[in-house]
Chains A and B, each alone.
Chain A
Amino acid sequence: MSTSKPAGLHRRRLIGAGTAAAITGFPNIGFTQARQPIKIGVPTILSGRVAQLGISSRNAMQIEVDAFNASGGLDGRPIELIVRDSRGVPAEAARLAREMISSDAVEFLFDAEPSSGGFAIHEVVRETGTVTLHINSETSSLTADPRQRFWNAFRVARQGIHDSIAGGYYAASVARSRNLRRWMTISPDYAYGRDTTAEFVEFARGFNADIQITGETWPRLFQADYTENITRLNQGRPQAVYSCLWAGDLVTFVEQASIFGLFAQSQLFAVNMADYTTLQQVRNLPRGVHSGNRYLRNFPPVPGNLAFATEYNRRFNTFPTNWSWQSATAVRLLTTALRQVGGTNPREVAAKLKGMTIESPFGAEGTVTMRAEDQTLVDYAIGWGTTISADPFVENMQKADWATIRRLEAEWKRGKGWG
């Protein structure tokens, strides 16, 4: 049941809010008004192939929201999440967003859709002026393209261009030290796969001109079998292979490529490998796959990060995903802004969010910032390392440097005419 939490939990929370109010001595009349919940709409995917996206987003939000409510909410007003399933259909995501705004009277939206649904919701809230935090869309143009920007939309997610710069830098240095010149790519044939791969190649070659792309193969998104792509890679005999396949597709590719012996001859750079749901599913994880961090409880190695993973594991009996830390960060940003504003006025909350920096266990240096210029999250931890077959799964993590990322991102934007 996505929309209503168990009645017991709900009651306990209200009692909690009530006691807090009683202690601080609010008058009774104010109390009824004050505990009116702040409703936040969450359109996402809860069914089908990528249901994990919505489920792990919702789980993380619930942890953070429960903590916020337990600590008294916004002057006694708890947050109530209204989570609904768009089944990955963008038109349905747009409808849900509209319906939540008009019928459920939500005051804010956490858009936990992937890029496709995210862009659909973006158009809706451009019209309605609802303060919206995009949580799962990594497509750079959502905030990098000035035409997509307006006052009430924010992105609390990693971004393709940041990952590509960090990955390109890391790959270039590994390529230099191991003399890897001949590269091939295998990425899913859709916008994310094409863009991310092109950007990675651009930056890797920018840092190391010796890198040559000798071939590429583009399986369909959610292709059942990668045999034909793997034999093609085998024929090309590359020294290194880059892939931005993700989740089940990446696992299938790795399992099949392993038994073809591909990793005996080629180094694999898989940006999306280091996520627990992926790592734990690969049965025959080849040693030394290079991967970017999606979510790792020991990167950044700070107590807050480990505590988050432990709490998540205790409540849901599994580990957080990349989507989880993004969702948790969204809740923390919004609740901080709400408390600083002392109310839910959308203009004031949006103004507060713009440029806001909060402490975060997911930050590269202990904080993350909602950059004012393009209203997107920066300074979150990005790193690359190599995989091992057991916990902690990834070792030798190298932290990306945000000064470099910012500099190259600005250049890239200028090149696109978005500067």
Chain B
Amino acid sequence: MELTELAECVSSMSCVVTQLAAGLTIGMLLFLVASGLTLIFGVLGLVNFAHGSLYMMGAYFALAAYGPTGSFAIAVLAGTLGAALLGLFFERFLLSRIYGQDVLMQLLVCYAIILILDDVVKIIWGADFRNMGVPPAFLHPPFIIGGGVVPYFYAILFGITALIAVALSYGMSRTRFGRIVRAAAVNPGMVGALGINTTVVYAAVFAIGAGLAGAAGALSAPIRSVVPGAGVSILIESFIVTVIGGMGSIGGALAASLILGLTRSFGSIGFPLFVEGAMFVIMALVLILRPSGLGGRRG
């Protein structure tokens, strides 16, 4: 524990700005992955253990699109759409066959998908790690705010992820589709009885969730190496977010992601050897005090 350093940091403007900006950006990237996971769970009642693999695929699709085009926008679009289409494929041909069955079946199908995708990327893109690199358009010196450092590209990332979050929340609360999705989460039978094709709703929700994971993978491709098996660590963190935020709650996922992001960035100053542990402690506390999570429905 280096709490004096933490105290020094919190009382210094430059340190607070740097850590806050970094923590929020990392938190928002995590939110994209976790919101997809929680959305799929909320509506389909399915724990997508293969969600991390969709994140990885998003990064690989982005890499493949960035190579020939050199456009980051196209890369992100390719990562998002590619992962969404892949998710759609999995939902239609594999996962939809096991709806209503126990967790064991879901777990096994997802486990198979993880095994297969890790090998498929190795066959297509090679076993070695790949790196996209920050696109030249974003290679500007970092912003210096109050003495704190905010990298230009992190500011861009924060902006894009925040836009996606706003669009997601608007889509869920204000559009007809969002209302159907929320209704389907509570009572799929009723939605079906109203003449709405729940099969289509499920497929769409899974594709959106997969697309969110893909977007996160694509957005982080310039700063994180892209490698087979990259999905696992992000999967564990997304699980922690979903537990803390409450399964199925997008608002809860946002809060939990930002809490984890900030825990990481300030924790690296105050308790560098216990950052990982701290996330588990927060999760355990939430489970004991409020088992349904921060944003979860009671009962």
Contacts and interface: CB of A to CB of B under 8 A. Distances in A.
Interface in B250-279: 264-265, 267-269, 272-273, 275-276
A376 B224 CA distance: 36
A283 B134 contact: yes
A256 B268 CA distance: 16
B227 to A, nearest CB: 5
A368 interface: no
Interface stretch (A18-26, A97-105, A126-134, A215-223): A215-223
Contact of A235 (B15, B128, B234): B15
B22 A251 contact: no
Nearest to A189: B273
Given A52-B128, A234-B149, A277-B128, A228 B223 contact: no
Interface stretch (B87-95, B151-159, B196-204, B205-213): B151-159
Contacts of A49: 129, 227-230
A252 B22 contact: no
> Is the interface on chain A under 10, 10 to 19, 20 to 34, or 35 or more residues?
35 or more
Interface SS, B side: helix
Contact of A228 (B220, B233, B268): B268
Contact of B132 (A234, A260, A261, A283): A283
Contacts of A230: 22
A135 interface: no
Contacts of A48: 118, 228-229
Q: Could you say which of B22, B122, B154, B227 has the most chain A C-beta atoms within 10 Å of its C-beta?
A: B227
Interface in A223-275: 223-225, 227-232, 234-235, 247-249, 251-252, 255-256, 258-261
A259 B122 contact: no
Nearest to A223: B233
Contacts of B128: 51-52, 277, 281
A247 B127 CA distance: 12
A248 B122 CA distance: 15
Q: Which of B25, B224, B225 has most A Cβ within 10 Å?
A: B225
A36 interface: no
Interface in B106-147: 118-119, 122, 127-134, 139, 141-142
Contact of A259 (B152, B234, B265): B152
Contacts of A340: none
Nearest to B225: A248
A106 interface: no
Contacts of B141: 261
Interface of A: 46-49, 51-52, 55, 217-218, 220, 222-225, 227-232, 234-235, 247-249, 251-252, 255-256, 258-261, 277, 281-284
Interface of B: 5, 9, 15, 18-19, 22-23, 25-26, 118-119, 122, 127-134, 139, 141-142, 149, 151-154, 220, 222-225, 227-230, 233-234, 264-265, 267-269, 272-273, 275-276
21 contacts: A48-B228, A49-B129, A49-B227, A49-B228, A220-B276, A227-B25, A227-B264, A231-B269, A232-B268, A235-B5, A235-B9, A247-B129, A248-B227, A252-B225, A259-B139, A259-B154, A260-B149, A261-B141, A277-B128, A282-B133, A284-B139
